[in-house]
Structure 1
Amino acid sequence: MDQYLWAPSSDRIESSNLVRYFKFLKEKKNLSLSTFEDLRVWSVNEIGSFWESIWEFSEVVFSQKYDLVYRSGSNFTDSKFFPGAKLNFAENLLRRTDSFPALVYRGEDGSKREVSYAELRSYVGAVAKDLKKRGVVPGDRVVGLMPNVPETVISMLAATSIGAIWSSCSPDFGVKGVLDRFGQIEPKILFTTDLYSFKGKDLSLAENLNQILESIPSIEAVIVSDYKNGILHFKNRTETVLPKDYPQKNIHFFETILIENEGTPLEFYQTSFDHPVYIMYSSGTTGLPKCMVQGVGVFINHWKELALHCDLKPGERIFYYTTCGWMMWNWLVSSLSIGATLVLFDGNPFFPTEEILFQIVSQEKINVFGVGAKYILTLEKSKFQPKDLDLSSIRTVLSTGSPLTTSGFRYVYQNWKKDLQLSSISGGTDLNGCFVLGNPILPVYEGEIQCRGLGMDVEIWNESAKSVIEQKGELVCKQPFPSMPLYFWKDPEGKKYKSAYFESYPSVWCHGDFAELKKNGGLVVYGRSDATLNPGGVRIGTSDIYGLIETFPEIADSVIIGQDWKEDVRIVLFLKMIPGKKLEDSLVQTLKREIKEKISPRHVPSKILEVADIPYTINMKKVEIAVKKTIQGEPVTNKEALSNPDSLEYYKNILELKED
């Protein structure tokens, strides 16, 4: 077995929520389990008993208990969890009522705002009352075109507290990106701000908002908050001053709403467990984004992941670098159900310096620190070390968005802190959660995700649909789970839903990840299945090549695709060099030799070419499929889903790709 990078101390194991859960099962369920693997196997063999235990252990707030825990359907999507129950999503996030900080906001400019649990409940009650006065009823869509600020959290909780459905985009999506999402779901109310800030520049939303309102006639009211001051306006009884070019029709001020409805008691509309709470979106890189409707089950799965897998406890502080256009925002906000403090940040994670997030960690004493894998790899490339900063509070580091390379694992332990749990986590917007993630009582091995999620019946299947270990294959989930989509919007017969996950295996969720399960229970995700390479008919994941490329300091970024060529597939590697460097033949030969010797001859690219930029989605995921389509002359149908769509121009009509 490989040498582990970290292992929890006996004290840490004993004080973990997971061990407390073991004891709960023994005392309340007469269930004696010796190891985490014993627990995991039980959780998927007895899914009803498992999810009932999570309901009880998490102390779900409800007004009517369920008739039964789990009702199996005729297929995967027909299954029901907790039928008969009555509860409210927001009520379960707002259980804490005291003056302890619920939200701490930090801006690029060093600004700081705090909201206590008591204040949060008060603000949510005020906004909820306003929404009801405006005719919002259960099932109506309320949306946010918002930065990652406290007002966004307040707006979501207010909407879901009255049974409305929440959906959000971040301001950097652009007009078409917003219309492609909100335009499909026809919202009644839009929350937004006067502006947002990025890299020290204030960016107005006025022009974009005018176009959005002209294109979505269902929007009856726009509620605007002040980005710079926010709830400070409420406390000082002042109003937002809008730019002159800002829309004037049906505009209402967030701060005024708080003043007018101050002191409104919180009321929570009681819903069924399968009542819709969120509408989430696929990336939209191959067409209009799919609109995935998710219910209250999102909360109970988030609680399991946060409390048991991340070991988050009441009173602790959690941070995730995200926008409200990425599912990690929804995941982060569920930390309120634990009684923790959410630390929010809006802006660029490298501005004004690479230290900014670590300064926040040090100053706010963050315990669980989450970022994208690309953030870690960018700091590794620059050889950044958070010197002279107190990182003693960090217990767990979370990484997601793409596979974290083995060198990324080493970099964190060598340069950040040795005693921490580095949890690479992987799942998707589709389930608003994780299939595979961390574990506070198990070791961390280089390049591996620690375990499969409890209650998630995950296996790796080969091409014969057989479960395999120590072999690469498709990541599948064999049984339903509470956070799976209720349905896709405007998909009455479920055709889009079934096409997304059940085309390969009719009653098994095929997630589209190319992965490997290790003998020790850990996993390696090599990338998306549709981005795997297939030279000579042998499937190859891209993460091994990416990991090796990251070790070359002169290479800023890369993308790997499989080009259809002469009735086969050949590997093409595109490189973006750091400023002042050009791709020379000596580097090409070194790369080919290193890939051949350290990975395999089959992984060696047929072509290695320099490009000016690498395309990414708005959520910072590489888009190999868009690159492949571009080089093959096929249309990329929804470039607005990309953060840098113009970069695809560099991949058109490349002469070297028309030659052997």
Structure 2
Amino acid sequence: MITSFAQLAEARTGKSMPGYRELHEWSVDDLAGFWATVWEFFKIRSDAGYERVLDDQPMPGARWFPGARLNYAEHALRDRDGIALLAVTEDGHVTPMTWDELRSQVAAFAGWLRRQGVGEGDRVVGYLPNAAPAVVAFLATASLGAIWSACGQDYGAEGAAAKFAQLEPVVLVTADGYHFNGRVHDRRAEVAGLRDLLPTLRAVVLADHIGTTGDPGTVPWAEAIATPAPLSFTRVEFSTPLWVLFSSGTTGVPKGIVHGHGGVLLEHLKLLGLHTDLRAGDRFLWYTTTNWMMWNLAVSGLLVGATVVLYDGSPMVPDATRLWRLAAGLGVAVLGTSPGHLLACAKAGVEPAALGLDALRLIGSTGAPLPAACYAWSAAHVGPDVRLVSTTGGTDVVSGFAGSAPTTPIWPGEISAPLLGVALAAWDEDGKPVVGEVGELVVTRPMPSMPVGLWNDPDGSRYRAAYFDRYPGVWRHGDWMTMTERGSVVVSGRSDSTLNRNGVRLGSADLYAVVERLPEVAEALVIGAELSGGGYWMPLFVVLAEGAVLDEALKDRINTAIRTQASPRHVPDTIIAVPAIPHTRTGKKLEVPIKRLLQGATIEQALARDAVDNPALLDFYKDLSWEIDSGWTAVS
């Protein structure tokens, strides 16, 4: 698809663009021309076109496509035939939904919402697993010009309310429970608690997902979609809010990030159509939950006519072959996962190629840097013709900054190139671009999917402070990255969790790439804590594989691997065995909050418990006995 796009760009501009680098240079030098070409290539439907592409003002403040009126859901529900959704539960039950059925359910639920008085600008929230009602409810909400927000049911009522109450929602769409790790989780009590914490609700809709008898005071999902209605779309201004995504909430109240219809539409068409080469009829599975922006991106597979696979369950139940068996059995063309999952599969000795992955063309990985070893494993055990690509981006832009394309080379341990339309650079402390050395990841020109604002931030002060305080007029994302001489990108971790030994900045990702490859280590976490009196302490926490023991021999092996494969500066001050590593609910390691706990903060000061995948771990880390001056003292 990207080749056809380049041909259109050449015809429009008269320029020769023989390779990806030339195409990218044009895309950032002429933002207006590039995004106008995206608009034409993907046949965007809009009232009266647009006045111009961009008011190119210093960020934040750029206005995209003024005059255009469109609707995301209209493009997701274009006339197509075949299967639109495949909903799969952990127990193996597969429920297909055709495009006609999807359009019919969206129209019916939109009609029900209208009868509740829901219209443009109202908020509808989903406390839902990754299943068909979440997609239907989102698209119906968007079709009205109302605003959607969702989170998974692994959050408790208070954790979900910390997000949703900010929005003052009028309708809650939820389910009786979800599947995970070999269990069915009944969440009706949490639904009742959440309902009580959202006083602005007019109605609660409950989907029967795990086969319970329902709940008094709720509208059954089947009833809410029972009355047929015509499918219609409220076309809204380009920047009209489509949804509110939330930050992880690990440093306070979750931050509501607002994205617009037009920006999401164009960015996702670009990312999925041009970079991922996702095509009409392809089956698209990205392992995610409704907590994570990757759910939003996965649903956008509908924009290009792909069949979206929704999986409610664990990727490791009954064993590490689970996602691969799904991909083989359903004929998945594009499979999305994480570095942690790929490493776990390698350690478990999984042989995906033996399962019959005939349709698989691409494996996408995001959420953390992808170790170089994963590329060799994929080529040998998945197949040399299946592209393994790493992408970096963020919830903040609900898209990517750097990734791959069918026309870019792939170098193990590196991300191929900045994405089209992304003016990406690494800057030093003085705001100067650097090549071949670590700098702050910045974006120097606007992207359509940058937030239209933060929720409850009327003057934009919180938005400016979050992204533009360090370099005025330039987006600072908070990651360390290196731009290589050949134009590829290496992300080294969050800049707010940087390891800093004797003034030398180190990326935690470099250490994880070494340690988590060892068979005795299931997962690792490293932090660097500045101490009173000018001291600095860098412990490495490791979760041991089954049967492994952290004796002196294993410590020596870990340190030797770090010294030789990363650098001597990466060798930790001590290695500590722990039962588990805490993560956000989207799978990111909690480096900064654990660092703050080690520096003396209370749990409440460090983070919100509901933002953590296993809140009980916080007490474990806080209750450890520390002797800061002399290092670690073992706890019985």
TM range (shorter): over 0.9
Three-state SS of the structure 1 residue aligned to 2:555 is helix
1:520 equivalent in alignment to 2:486: yes
Which residue in the other structure is 2:614 paired with? 644
Q: Contact 2:19–2:407 at 8 Å: present in 1 too?
A: no
Is the CA contact (8 Å cut-off) linking 1:613 and 1:650 kept in structure 2? no
Asked if 1:61 corresponds to 2:28, the answer is no
Partner of 1:111: 93
Q: Distance in 2 between matches of 1:412 and 1:177?
A: 37
| 1:286 aligned partner | 251
Q: Which residue, out of 531, 553, 557, partners 1:586?
A: 553
Matches of 1:98 and 1:488, distance apart in 2: 35
CA deviation after TM superposition for structure 1 residue 596, in Å: 2.0
1:322 alignment partner in structure 2 = 288
Letter in 1 for 2:235: Q
* SS of the residue 2:355 aligns to: coil
One of 49, 71, 74 as aligned partner of 1:91: 74
Cα shift readout 1:439-463 (whole Å, capped 9, x = no counterpart): 1112211111111011111001122
Question: Secondary structure of the residue that 1:376 maps to in structure 2?
Answer: helix
Q: What secondary structure sits across from 2:120 in the alignment?
A: coil
Q: Does residue 339 of structure 2 align to residue 393 of structure 1? A: no
Q: Secondary structure at 2:156's aligned position in 1?
A: helix
Alpha-carbon displacement from aligned partner over 1:59-97 (angstroms, at most 9, x marks no partner):
111122111100123x312110000101111001111x2
Q: Pick one of 462, 471, 475 that aligns with 1:496.
A: 462
Provide the C-alpha distance between the structure 1 equivalents of 2:109 and 2:297, rounded to a whole number of angstroms: 22
TM superposition shift of 1:602: 1.5
Please, which of 536, 543, 560 is the counterpart of residue 576 of structure 1? 543
Aligned to 1:188: 170
Distance, in Å, in 1 between the alignment partners of 2:628 and 2:616 is 20
**Alpha-carbon distance, 1:181 to partner:** 0.4
Q: Is the 8 A contact 1:535 1:568 kept in 2?
A: no
Displacement, 1:655?
3.3
Contact 2:320 2:348 in 1 (8 A): no
Structure 2 residue 219 is the aligned partner of structure 1 residue 255: no
- 4+ aligned runs moved over 3 Å, structure 1: 655-658
What's the counterpart of residue 455 of structure 1? 421
- 8 Å CA contact retained: 1:64, 1:87: no
Q: Write the deviation string for residues 349-402 of structure 1: whole angstroms up to 9, x where unpaired.
A: 111222221111111111110012211122122222226311121101000111
Residues 134-153 of structure 1: pairs in structure 2 closer than 5 A: 134-153=116-135
Task: Report which stretch shifted further, 573-582 or 189-198.
Answer: 573-582
What is the TM-score when the length of structure 2 is the normalising length?
A: 0.96
User: How far apart are the structure 2 equivalents of 1:589 and 1:549?
Assistant: 12
CA distance in 1 between partners of 2:233 and 2:73 (Å)? 8
Q: Name the residue aligned to 2:439.
A: 473
Q: CA contact under 8 A between 1:318 and 1:368: conserved in structure 2?
A: yes
* 1:213 partner letter: R
- Partner residue, 1:608: 575
Paired residues of 2:148 and 2:242 also in contact (CA < 8 A): yes
Report the alpha carbon displacement of residue 58 of structure 1 after superposing the two structures with TM: 0.9
**For residue 638 of structure 1, what is the amino acid of its counterpart?**
A
Gaps (5+ residues) in structure 2? 632-636
Letter in 1 for 2:595: K
Matches within 5 A, 1:366-405: 366-386=332-352, 388-405=354-371
Asked if 2 retains the 8 angstrom alpha-carbon contact of 1:615 and 1:642, the reply is: yes
Question: Is 2:174–2:204's contact at 8 Å kept on the other side of the alignment?
Answer: yes
SS of 2:445's partner is coil
CA RMSD, Structure 1 to Structure 2 (Å): 1.4
* Cα distance in structure 2, aligned partners of 1:639 and 1:228: 27
Q: Which residue of 2 aligns with 1:597?
A: 564
- TM-score when normalising by structure 1: 0.93
- The residue that corresponds to 1:344 in the other structure is 310
Give the distance between the partners of 2:580 and 2:485, measured in 1 at CA.
Answer: 39
SS in 2 for 1:360: helix
Q: Contact 2:480–2:507 (CA<8 Å) still a contact in 1?
A: yes
Question: Deviation at 1:425?
Answer: 0.7
Q: Report the Cα distance in structure 2 between the residues aligned to 1:121 and 1:337, rounded to whole angstroms.
A: 13
Q: Secondary structure at the match of 2:431?
A: coil
Query: Where does residue 507 of structure 1 map in the other structure?
Result: 473
Q: For 2:157 and 2:223, locate their aligned partners in 1 and report how far apart those are by CA, in whole Å.
A: 27
**Conserved? CA contact 2:186–2:210, under 8 Å:** no
Q: Indicate the larger mover: 499-508 or 219-228.
A: 219-228
The separation in 2 between residues aligned to 1:551 and 1:292, in whole angstroms, is 35
Q: Does 1:201 align with 2:197?
A: no
Secondary structure at 1:286 match in 2: coil
| 1:155-174 correspondence runs (5 A) | 155-174=137-156
Structure 2 counterpart of 1:542, from 485, 496, 508: 508
Letter in structure 2 aligned against 1:336:
L
1:271 matched to 2:243? The reply is no
| Match of residue 25 from structure 2 | 41
1:217 equivalent to 2:182? Answer no
2:224 and 2:470 map into 1 onto residues whose CA distance is 50
Contact 1:535 1:570 survives alignment (8 Å): no
Identity %: 36
2:634 corresponding residue in structure 1 = none
Q: Which amino acid aligns with 1:477?
A: V
Work out whether 1:82 is the aligned partner of 2:65: yes
Q: Which amino acid aligns with 2:630?
A: E
Give the deviation of 1:228 after TM superposition: 4.4
Displacement of 1:282 in angstroms is 0.5
- The one-letter code sitting in structure 1 at the alignment partner of 2:245 is M
Equivalent residues of 1:536, 1:568 under 8 A apart: no
For the residue of structure 1 that corresponds to 2:237, the secondary structure is coil
* 1:241 aligned partner: 213
Deviation at 1:656, TM superposition (A): 4.9
Whole-angstrom distance in 2 between the partners of 1:80 and 1:282: 24
Q: Is the 8 A contact 1:381 1:550 kept in 2?
A: no
2-structure distance, mates of 1:624, 1:286? 12
Report the equivalent of 1:624: 591
SS in 2 for 1:587: helix
Preserved contact between residue 98 and residue 116 of structure 1 (Cα < 8 Å): no
More deviation in 267-276 or 584-593?
584-593
What is the DSSP-based 3-state SS (H/G/I as helix, E as strand, rest coil) of the residue aligned with 1:353? coil
Distance 1:594 1:202 in 2: 41
Task: Output the amino acid matched with 1:147.
Answer: P
For the residues of structure 2 that align with 1:507 and 1:20, how far apart are their CA atoms? 34
CA distance in 2, matches of 1:408, 1:626: 28
Residue 598 of structure 1 deviates from its aligned partner by: 2.4
Distance 1:593 1:32 in 2: 50
* Residue 659 of structure 1 pairs with residue 624 of structure 2: no
Secondary structure in structure 1 of the residue aligned to 2:481: strand
CA shift in 2, pair 1:553/1:371, >3 Å: same
The match for 1:102 is 84
Q: 1: distance between equivalents of 2:608 and 2:232?
A: 41
1:25 and 2:9 matched: yes
Is the contact made by 2:260 and 2:449 (CA closer than 8 Å) also made in structure 1? yes
Aligned to 2:259, the other structure's residue is in SS state strand
The amino acid of 2:39's aligned partner reads W
TM-aligned CA deviation for residue 586 of structure 1: 1.8
Q: Which runs of 5+ in 1 are unaligned?
A: 1-16, 230-239
Partner of 1:173, secondary structure, is coil
CA distance in 2, matches of 1:513, 1:72: 25
